[in-house]
Amino acid sequence: MNEISEIFISPLPLPAAALLPHRPPMLFVETLVARHGNRSTARAVLPDSGICVSENRLLPEYFIELVAQATALANGYDGLCLGRPVHDGMLVGIDGFSFHGRATEGSIAGRVVRIETEKTFEFGAIKVIHGEVYNDRELLAAGDIKVWEDLSRDAMR
């Protein structure tokens, strides 16, 4: 049995604002939908304007940040379930990200997308996360990110 299920399970979905320090315009994810083991599912609405849109097209970096924020959502949820504050963390690496189909087209603005993440490696404060962003069944972006979490007691929010 994993550590989280032994403590407390908070019902899902949960709004991102309850689990992340991010606020608009930097809050890109909307909801944590599912969390099980090393996997999580989040939801976001693709913007039609703002800091992630240039010349009516979504910037590729937006999809990387969706995966990073979905990862932070899972981390925030884990902290909530364990009754612990969440540690500060940051995106420290990107590996093999690819963008498919209509990923950066402005025509998909307003669509609700699903962000699937899976922790594939962990060593101390470093985690490698594989993430995929879907519009229904259409894969828009996929790749791996590396995140660092400050595990010192002083770094808790």
Residue for token digits 């304007």? 49
The pTM (predicted TM-score) of the whole model is 0.90
On the 0-12 / 13-18 / 19+ scale of CB atoms within 10 A, 128 is middle
Span 82-130, pLDDT tens digits: 888 878 899 999 999 999 987 777 778 899 999 999 999 999 999 999 9
- Tracing tokens 């604002």 back to the chain, one arrives at 17
Tens of pLDDT along 47-93?
999 999 998 889 999 999 999 999 999 999 999 998 888 788 999 99
Alpha helix (H) residue ranges in the chain: 3-7, 60-82
What is the set of domains in the chain, with CATH numbers? Answer: 3-155 (3.10.129.10)
